Structure 1
Amino acid sequence: MYLHRLELRAIGPYPDLVSIDFAALAASGVFLLEGPTGSGKSTIIDAVVFALYGGLAGSDASSDRLHSQHADPAVEPFVELVFETGAGTYRVRRTPQYDRPKQRGTGTVKQQASVQLFRLANPSDVAGEPMSSRIPEVGVEIGRIIGLDRAQFLQTVVLPQGEFARFLRSPGEDRRKLLQSLFGTQVYDRTADELAARRRAVQAEVDGADDRVRDALNRFAQAAGLDGADESAVPSTVASIRAAADAAAAVRAAAASAATTAAEHEQVVTARATALGRRAGLLARQTALDEDAPAVDDARAIVALGERAARVAAVADGLDAAVLRADETTATARAVRDRHGVAEAPDVVVGRRDVLADDLSAVRHLVAVEDGSAARRSAIAEAVATAEQLAGQLVARDAALDARPAERARIVEAARTAARTAADADAAAHEVTRVRSLRAELVARDHAAQRVTAAEQTVTAARRSATEALAAERALRERRIAGLAGELGAALTTGDPCPVCGSTEHPSVATPQDDHPTTEAVDAAGDATRRADQRLADAASDLAVERAEHQRLVDVVGTVDAAALDALTEAADARVRAAHDAAALVLQHERHRAEHDTETGRLQRERNDLDARRTVLTSTAQADAERLDTDLGTVAAARERLGALLDDRPTTLRTAVELLDERLEAYRAVVQADERVAAATRARDDRRAEVARVLDDQGFADVAAARAGRLDPGDTERLRARISAAEAERAVVVGGLAEPSVVAAADDSAERLDLDGARVARERTAAELDRATGAAASAADRADAVDRCATEVTRATRARDETSARSRAVVRLADIANGVTAANPTGITLGTYVLMSRFEDVVAAANDRLRGMLAGRFTLETSDERESGSRARRTGLALAVHDHTTDTVRDPRSLSGGETFTVSLCLALGLADVVQAEAGGVSLGTLFVDEGFGTLDPETLDDVIGQLSRLTAGGRQVGIVSHVEELKQRIPERIAVRRTAAGGSHVTTTV
């Protein structure tokens, strides 16, 4: 990642706009950021980190110091950074949270933080493509673009004061977290976790497989009828039970064959006896049919004659009806012509009907026009009157609208006056809060005074108790010393040397006193004294704390008393109430203004509606009057046309139409009567021709002969039923006698058929089959159950063996990956093992630079042992410093300030090199080192500057933040920060 340009304003000590071109500064590789202590050098680093991550560089730094106290409060603070990565060129602009003056009234309002991220075509692109303006989304995008979070950025790109030495001194577990995030080795930890989960899963599978084998063996033993069974007995048991089932099946097959033979014999004997009886019955029915055959033939002849006569009679009946209908229609038509007075020929009447119908159709619709003319004239007059009324209402609405603006101005001015009073709400609320806080502190001061008094009494009591306990302990010790001779004498036995004089003879042994204190009593008194002293110390400490709190509250409250607080409270509450009332009044005025505007809009809409309605009514009335005149002219022309067809001239069109409608109806009635006569005549002639044809077809001389041969319907049905019954019986008898079994029965006799013997043989063999079937089914079921259980045993055993074989590899691999001592004596997990390789690369890169510094005295070494003083598991990432001068290994925390700076810098540079060299790693094109150079002697400073200069050979930018004077002589490119007379700072860039 490379920095191109940084701009900031109203940030830290910089009230004005500051612009820094890092690309120009880094043209030679190394540039210096210098200035006096506290002038604002680190603020520039903070601005870079804030622009990218929304936080500051130092771990303890607060973002509250971002907004400049030297800038105008109305000026918006911001930081804008243009940077480039492998993903492209971007510009990010952030503003911190700050308090700005209110736009109306007094006081301030908190302005929330904001951010904008743009993708640029090139570093000089001033517009760019907006990507996001939401803080969470920009944070995610920045992490994706740079590839580092804030903590990683501070370890590899920006090395602030005291921060980049933390990696050197941190314990191995902290190094593991940082290296894991930098090199993306979380996958190995997830792999170890997955292997552990799989280990638990396969172990559970092995246990489940063992349980399934035991369950299968138990079910096999139950199916085989055994008390118990093992895996070796399964095959032999299955073979013996299957052999018994096969033998029972053979017995059942033989019994089934015998039963089938007996059943078939019984069926044959029964069928032959049935056929013999059926043949005798069919022969008797055949004899009866032969005797009744002549009578059936006579019935067939009678039925045929009756059917032919019925066909002729039906057609003759139709002819009679047609003749009658033709006579009736002719008489009806003559009566209709007489009634209407029409004597012309039919075709003449049809022509007159059509002409008159056309004339009436052309003018009939004008009758409604004539009838509605009076209503239309009335409607036109009403429309004209309504338009005049609307014109009057329109004048009234215009007058009301002209008076509305003055009333609205009065409401707006009242609302503005109330708003000025309500603007004092925040200040009044702050004053109420301050007075309440002061009252609470006044109450707390009184309570603190009471606690001080109580604490003093507690100290007095504790001091008295401590004095008494000390006196008791001293008395016990004095008594024990005084009676020590008796204690020694009580411990002497004859022949033992005296612990005082060494003599083995004890002529006068001292005896202990009755109240001689024991060691336990003295120790208990000492413990009591120590507890009393501790209570005294605790009470004294509590007293000091209470006195300090009481004094603090006295200083805060000062000379304010309850009466003064009451007055302040009343005044603050009055200000709050006045502001609150004014705010309510503002809302009321705003509501009145909104209502006034709503009413004005309503009046304006009503006025526009009235104007539109008046215009529409006027134009509509004019158009309707013109159309009415045209329609009345058309009606008059039609009335004259129809009057020519009548004897008397009609006064209205409706009268003419009604008279001609009556004439048209007469014509229509005559035409319809003539058409019915013609149709009836044609039907009569058609019927006569049909009767002649049917008489010839059926063989009758005339209609009377045919009608004489007709049968009664009851006789016809009776004869047909007799014929059908005889034909059906004949078919049944002939078919039955042709059946093979009936034909074969001609050679049988009842004496040769033994039905009872066949039935007895069938019942005996069926009973034997039932017994054999039951035995075979039981044996087969048992054998099938045993086979299924044996298959389950085999399947469960095979699954158990496969699970065991598979689980062994998984268990061992999981134990190795998770550092289980039984499989992995080193106790180092897979993720840590991978990080150790990366860490060794980091240490090697650091040593490569460290050899050229501090006269080659130190090198860094890694270890897989625990960190000193740590109870955590071995991370394999422990770090030590090898001092080649004394050939000793030292803890990094034992280095001096300059040594720590140099070693930490080399370690940080090595870490950055390895991260950049990793496949898919992050490109680190810019490096900032913040302070620490003041701890170096000139020779070591030369070595450090030389190592930093080596970084620029690969295109890196190195910025050194320092106030060391010697660096100004070595590095020409610089950013100089100086304080101004107004208290802020300004920046000068030298390229």
Structure 2
Amino acid sequence: MYLHRLELRAVGPYPDLVSIDFASLAASGVFLLEGPTGSGKSTIIDAVVYALYGGLAGSDASTDRLHSQHADPAVEPFVDLVFETGAGVFRVRRTPPYDRPKQRGTGTIRQQSSAQLFRLADPSDLVGEPVSHRAPEIGVEIARIVGLNRDQFLQTVVLPQGEFARFLRAPGEDRRKLLQSLFGTAIYDRTADELAARRRSAVADVDAADARVRDALGRFRQASGDDDADESSAADVVTELRRTAAGLERARTTARTDAEYAVAHLHDVTTRLAAVDRRRGLLARADALAAGAAAVAGHRTALGLADHAAVVVAVADGAAAAEDRLTALVGERSAVRDRHEMTDAVPRDTHDRLAAARSEVRHLVDLEQSLDQRAAAVQSAAADLERTQTRLVEAATALSARPDERAEIVRAAARSAEAAADAAAAERAVETAQELAGLLAARRVAAGRTSERAAAVTAAATAAAAALATENDLRARRIAGLAGELGAALVPGDPCPVCGAVEHPAVALPQDDHPSAEQIDAAAAARADAERALGTATADHAVARADLDRLTEAVGEHDDESVARQRTDADARLAAARSAADAVRDHEQRLQGHDRATRALEDDHTDLVTRIRLLADRIDGDRTRLDADRARVDDARRTVRAALDQAVTAGAGTEARAALDLDGPRGTLAQEVAAVDALIAVLRTVADLDDLVTAAEREVADRKAEVDAALQAQGFADVTAARSAALGRADAERLRGLVAAADREQAVVEAGLAEPAAVAAAADIPTDADPGAALDRGAAQTARDAAAVALDDTTRAAAAAGDRATAAERCAADLARAVRARDTTSAESRAVVRLADIAAAAAHVNPTGITLGTYVLMRRFEDVVAAANDRLRAMLAGRFTLETSDERETGTRARRTGLALAVRDHLTDSTRDPRSLSGGETFTFSLCLALGLADVVQAEAGGVSLGTLFVDEGFGTLDPETLDDVIGQLSRLTAGGRQVGIVSHVEELKQRIPERIAVRRTPEGGSQVTTTV
């Protein structure tokens, strides 16, 4: 990544516009950012970091301090950066949050932060293509474009010397945390955790598999009935059970065959006996049929003659009915004509003329009925027109008053908005009061804790003094009784360890309370424990006291009463501001409602104007159409009268004359049409009766011809003879029933005697000559029952044996599957368990004691140290190199991290602790580590090109020769177009580096920037 141009305004100590052209500054590779301490050098780096990531270089720095206190509050602060990566040229602009003056009234309002990202065609492009205006999207997009997140950027592009001095001296565990965050190796720790979880799961699976084998074996023993069976003998037990079941199945098959034979024999005997009884019954019924054959033949003859007579009688009855209908129709026609005084010889023609005239005018009946309603509608529309004109005048009056009402609402909203603007300040006051209340509560807790720990210090001091006195007393008594201890150890004939004599005339004896060495060691250990407890209690008391002092200083002169008053005032102030805010919303809603009502009034005014115009047009048109329709109705009444005159002349009767009387003022067109309908109905009735009489006369002639033909066809002389031969329904049905019953009985007897069983039964009927032919059903049933009992016994035995064998076979299969699953699970779990133990540094498989995550970091750390050593050899003439080790850090009992660091001094061929380096050496080593880490992180980030690099303070600790080496090494970093910015106030660097950014304070309190290229 290369920086091209940075612009900022109203940021930090810079009230005015600052523009820095990094591309021109870095033409020679190295440039200097110099100025007095506190003048604003770090602010420039903060501006770069803030433009890219929306945060500052410091981990705990707040963006609130970006807004310059020296600038006009109304001036918008911003940071604008143009940079280039492999993805292209981009421009990012951010404004931090700040308080600006209100546009109306007094006070300030919080202006939130904003961000914009543009893609540029080239660094000189001033407009570009917008990419995003949302800060979260811009953060994700810049991380993708640059290839580094904020933490990686700060460790690779901005190299603060102090941070890497701490990294150089830090224990391995601290280095592990930093390297893990930079290289993202937490995935390996998660991998180790996942392996551990899988190891636990694998062990649980093996245990479960063993349990399933035990359960399957128990079920097999229960199913087979063999309590001594095991995994190896299960197959043999199943074979034996299956052999026993097969033998019992063969016995069951034999018993079933015997039982089936006995059942078949019993069925045969029973069937033959039933056939004998049936044959005897059929022979008896045949004898009865032969006795009644003559009577049935007479019934058949009478039924045949009655069927022929029925044909003639039916035709004669039809002819008589036709004559009766003709007589009735002639009488009905005469009655109708007489009732209506009709003399019209051809009523059908009069009917058709009236129907045609009615069809011409019927559609005008509804039109006539609507004339009065339409006239009333015209009058109602005229009244509606007058009311609408009145409403139009009222709407115009209401609209004229709306502007003054709206102005009053706007003025009230402005007053409430001015009061609501104090909400942010009131909220900060409430938060301040809450923080003070929390600090007061914490101070009370800290005071109690300090008192408790002071008492603990006193008790620990007393215990330590007592333990020390006890140890001193025991040591004094032991020294005083050493003679007795030596005397107790003397053996006659052995030389004395003090004087060398072999004779011991007066041996000193040990005292009864002489302390032993173990007692003194125990007292010393107790004294050491008491002293450690005293040290711990003293340290805890000091921490508690410092916490109490800090809280007391933070609280200041405030107490519960003053904080309560401050909180009450702040709450009241906040409540008033929020009430005003609610009022603002109410006024806004009123204003919106007023505007909606005004728009509704305007719409109503427009609608009323349109409605008046439409009503006037519609009234004129309705009056014209009403007059025309009245004329059409009058013409229709004249047409109806002309048709009625013709009907009266033709002799249509009383209805025609009555219809003519309706003409004129006495009737309406609807009444006239109704009278015509009634006349048409009468004419249609008479015409229809004429047609029916004619048809009846033709039918009577046809029926008489049919009677003559039927007599000749059925063989009767006249109708009287046919009626004599006919039978009544009851008699005919009785005779038919007798004949049908005899026919059915004859058919049943013949069919029954023809059946094979009945024919064969003739041989089984005992006779006087052969009485032994009778069948014995009782003996057959006894044999059947005995065979069934035998079959039941063998079936139960075979089923029990088969079920036991099947259950044992199924349980044996389950046992075999459980054994195979256990063996498979055990085999599969071994690799997972071993891999998890290696990753977790279990001692029995991983004697190095290094976890998977630490091992990966070691390899990355070796790359960092190798890259640092390449620069150390150039900067310090090859005297020093850094070495890594997988041992614990010197002087610590922490777990092995594999990230221990030592300095190898090739001049003295010795190894040194990094904390023993001088200030200049520490800076050099730290810088080399920082540059090496930058190279490795760059490679880890996918080959990200780091075109711009900032190196912060520390050059003042170097001697001139080392400074030359360091500057030379930094200059070599510029190969390939890399930019290196050195942040320092060392005077000698100004002589060595001509390109610089100079930061100086101004008399007004701010700072200004001068760029020298």
Which TM-score band (shorter chain)? 0.7 to 0.9
Partners of 2:456 and 2:619 in 1: CA distance: 114
1:848 aligned onto 2:862:
no
Deviations 1:566-590 (A, max 9, x none): 9x99999999999999889888877
Match of 2:58 in 1: 58
1:356 aligned onto 2:354:
yes
Structure 2 gaps of 5+ residues are 491-495, 513-518, 646-659, 767-771
Question: How much does 1:854 deviate?
Answer: 0.7
Question: How much does 1:257 deviate?
Answer: 3.0
Partners of 2:284 and 2:634 in 1: CA distance: 104
Q: Which moved more, 1:770-779 or 1:371-380?
A: 371-380
Q: Which moved more, 1:687-696 or 1:891-900?
A: 687-696
Match of 1:775 in 2: 797
The verdict on how the C-alpha distance between 1:313 and 1:979 changes in structure 2, with shifts beyond 3 A counting, is farther
1:838 aligned onto 2:860:
yes
Deviations 1:888-907 (A, max 9, x none): 22233332232223223222
Aligned residue identity for 1:53: Y
Q: In the alignment, is the contact (CA less than 8 A) between 1:638 and 1:653 conserved in 2?
A: no
> What secondary structure is seen at the aligned counterpart in 1 of 2:1004?
coil
Matches within 5 A, 1:550-699: 607-608=605-606, 610-645=608-643, 646=645, 650-651=664-665, 654=669, 657=673, 660-661=676-677, 663-685=679-701, 687-688=703-704, 691=707, 695=711, 698-699=714-715
Deviations 1:688-710 (A, max 9, x none): 55555555555545444433332
Give the counterpart of 1:890 among 891, 896, 912. 912
> What secondary structure is seen at the aligned counterpart in 2 of 1:856?
coil
> What secondary structure is seen at the aligned counterpart in 1 of 2:877?
helix
Q: Which moved more, 1:404-413 or 1:807-816?
A: 404-413
Q: TM-score of the superposition, structure 1-length normalised?
A: 0.82
Q: Which moved more, 1:177-186 or 1:927-936?
A: 177-186
Q: Which moved more, 1:192-201 or 1:867-876?
A: 867-876
Match of 1:725 in 2: 741
Question: How much does 1:491 deviate?
Answer: 10
1:963 aligned onto 2:963:
no
Question: How much does 1:120 deviate?
Answer: 4.8
Question: How much does 1:273 deviate?
Answer: 2.9
1:203 aligned onto 2:217:
no
1:982 aligned onto 2:1004:
yes
The verdict on how the C-alpha distance between 1:857 and 1:809 changes in structure 2, with shifts beyond 3 A counting, is same
Partners of 2:860 and 2:1011 in 1: CA distance: 39
Aligned residue identity for 1:257: T
Question: How much does 1:748 deviate?
Answer: 3.1
The verdict on how the C-alpha distance between 1:963 and 1:425 changes in structure 2, with shifts beyond 3 A counting, is closer
Aligned residue identity for 1:98: Y
1:91 aligned onto 2:100:
no
The verdict on how the C-alpha distance between 1:525 and 1:913 changes in structure 2, with shifts beyond 3 A counting, is closer
Partners of 1:865 and 1:537 in 2: CA distance: 31
Deviations 1:595-628 (A, max 9, x none): 7667656665665555444444333322222222
> What secondary structure is seen at the aligned counterpart in 2 of 1:862?
strand
Q: TM-score of the superposition, structure 2-length normalised?
A: 0.81
Q: In the alignment, is the contact (CA less than 8 A) between 2:868 and 2:932 conserved in 1?
A: yes
The verdict on how the C-alpha distance between 1:378 and 1:39 changes in structure 2, with shifts beyond 3 A counting, is same
The verdict on how the C-alpha distance between 1:79 and 1:276 changes in structure 2, with shifts beyond 3 A counting, is same
> What secondary structure is seen at the aligned counterpart in 1 of 2:162?
coil
Question: How much does 1:74 deviate?
Answer: 1.4
Matches within 5 A, 1:534-549: none
Matches within 5 A, 1:798-877: 798-877=820-899
Q: In the alignment, is the contact (CA less than 8 A) between 2:488 and 2:508 conserved in 1?
A: no
Aligned residue identity for 2:841: G
Match of 1:741 in 2: 757
The verdict on how the C-alpha distance between 1:358 and 1:880 changes in structure 2, with shifts beyond 3 A counting, is farther
The verdict on how the C-alpha distance between 1:8 and 1:697 changes in structure 2, with shifts beyond 3 A counting, is farther
Question: How much does 1:855 deviate?
Answer: 0.8
Q: In the alignment, is the contact (CA less than 8 A) between 2:483 and 2:508 conserved in 1?
A: no
Match of 1:327 in 2: 327
Match of 1:515 in 2: none
The verdict on how the C-alpha distance between 1:719 and 1:17 changes in structure 2, with shifts beyond 3 A counting, is farther
Partners of 1:477 and 1:200 in 2: CA distance: 51
Partners of 1:342 and 1:89 in 2: CA distance: 114
Q: In the alignment, is the contact (CA less than 8 A) between 2:315 and 2:707 conserved in 1?
A: yes
Q: In the alignment, is the contact (CA less than 8 A) between 1:155 and 1:164 conserved in 2?
A: no
Question: How much does 1:977 deviate?
Answer: 3.1
Q: In the alignment, is the contact (CA less than 8 A) between 1:821 and 1:827 conserved in 2?
A: yes
The verdict on how the C-alpha distance between 1:597 and 1:833 changes in structure 2, with shifts beyond 3 A counting, is closer
The verdict on how the C-alpha distance between 1:521 and 1:970 changes in structure 2, with shifts beyond 3 A counting, is closer
Question: How much does 1:544 deviate?
Answer: 12
Deviations 1:59-118 (A, max 9, x none): 343333211112111122222333344445443332222222222222222223333344
Aligned residue identity for 1:729: E
Aligned residue identity for 1:39: S
The verdict on how the C-alpha distance between 1:858 and 1:297 changes in structure 2, with shifts beyond 3 A counting, is farther
The verdict on how the C-alpha distance between 1:148 and 1:533 changes in structure 2, with shifts beyond 3 A counting, is closer
Q: In the alignment, is the contact (CA less than 8 A) between 2:471 and 2:523 conserved in 1?
A: no
Q: In the alignment, is the contact (CA less than 8 A) between 1:975 and 1:990 conserved in 2?
A: yes
Aligned residue identity for 1:650: G
Question: How much does 1:161 deviate?
Answer: 4.5
The verdict on how the C-alpha distance between 1:872 and 1:124 changes in structure 2, with shifts beyond 3 A counting, is farther
Match of 1:908 in 2: 930
Q: In the alignment, is the contact (CA less than 8 A) between 1:179 and 1:835 conserved in 2?
A: yes
Question: How much does 1:822 deviate?
Answer: 0.9
Q: Which moved more, 1:428-437 or 1:267-276?
A: 428-437
The verdict on how the C-alpha distance between 1:526 and 1:573 changes in structure 2, with shifts beyond 3 A counting, is closer
Deviations 1:778-811 (A, max 9, x none): 3333333332333333222222222222222222
The verdict on how the C-alpha distance between 1:530 and 1:425 changes in structure 2, with shifts beyond 3 A counting, is closer
Question: How much does 1:251 deviate?
Answer: 3.0
Q: In the alignment, is the contact (CA less than 8 A) between 1:242 and 1:783 conserved in 2?
A: yes
The verdict on how the C-alpha distance between 1:296 and 1:386 changes in structure 2, with shifts beyond 3 A counting, is same
> What secondary structure is seen at the aligned counterpart in 2 of 1:650?
coil
Q: Which moved more, 1:471-480 or 1:12-21?
A: 471-480
Q: Which moved more, 1:41-50 or 1:671-680?
A: 671-680
Structure 1 gaps of 5+ residues are 513-517
Q: In the alignment, is the contact (CA less than 8 A) between 2:12 and 2:68 conserved in 1?
A: yes
Matches within 5 A, 1:26-65: 26-65=26-65
Aligned residue identity for 2:734: R
Partners of 2:871 and 2:210 in 1: CA distance: 61
Partners of 1:468 and 1:247 in 2: CA distance: 96
> What secondary structure is seen at the aligned counterpart in 1 of 2:908?
coil
Partners of 1:963 and 1:207 in 2: CA distance: 70
The verdict on how the C-alpha distance between 1:143 and 1:747 changes in structure 2, with shifts beyond 3 A counting, is same
Deviations 1:148-178 (A, max 9, x none): 3222221122213523444434443444445
Partners of 2:678 and 2:279 in 1: CA distance: 90
> What secondary structure is seen at the aligned counterpart in 2 of 1:256?
helix
Partners of 2:832 and 2:343 in 1: CA distance: 123
1:112 aligned onto 2:112:
yes
Q: Which moved more, 1:678-687 or 1:807-816?
A: 678-687
The verdict on how the C-alpha distance between 1:282 and 1:88 changes in structure 2, with shifts beyond 3 A counting, is farther
Q: Count residues in correspondence.
A: 969
Question: How much does 1:139 deviate?
Answer: 3.1
% identical equivalent positions: 59
Question: How much does 1:535 deviate?
Answer: 12
The verdict on how the C-alpha distance between 1:974 and 1:745 changes in structure 2, with shifts beyond 3 A counting, is same
Matches within 5 A, 1:452-471: none
> What secondary structure is seen at the aligned counterpart in 1 of 2:76?
coil
Aligned residue identity for 1:225: G
Aligned residue identity for 1:842: V
Match of 1:215 in 2: 215
Matches within 5 A, 1:760-799: 760-799=782-821
The verdict on how the C-alpha distance between 1:963 and 1:490 changes in structure 2, with shifts beyond 3 A counting, is closer
Aligned residue identity for 1:813: L
Deviations 1:507-546 (A, max 9, x none): 999x99xxxxx99999999999999999999999999999
Question: How much does 1:856 deviate?
Answer: 0.9
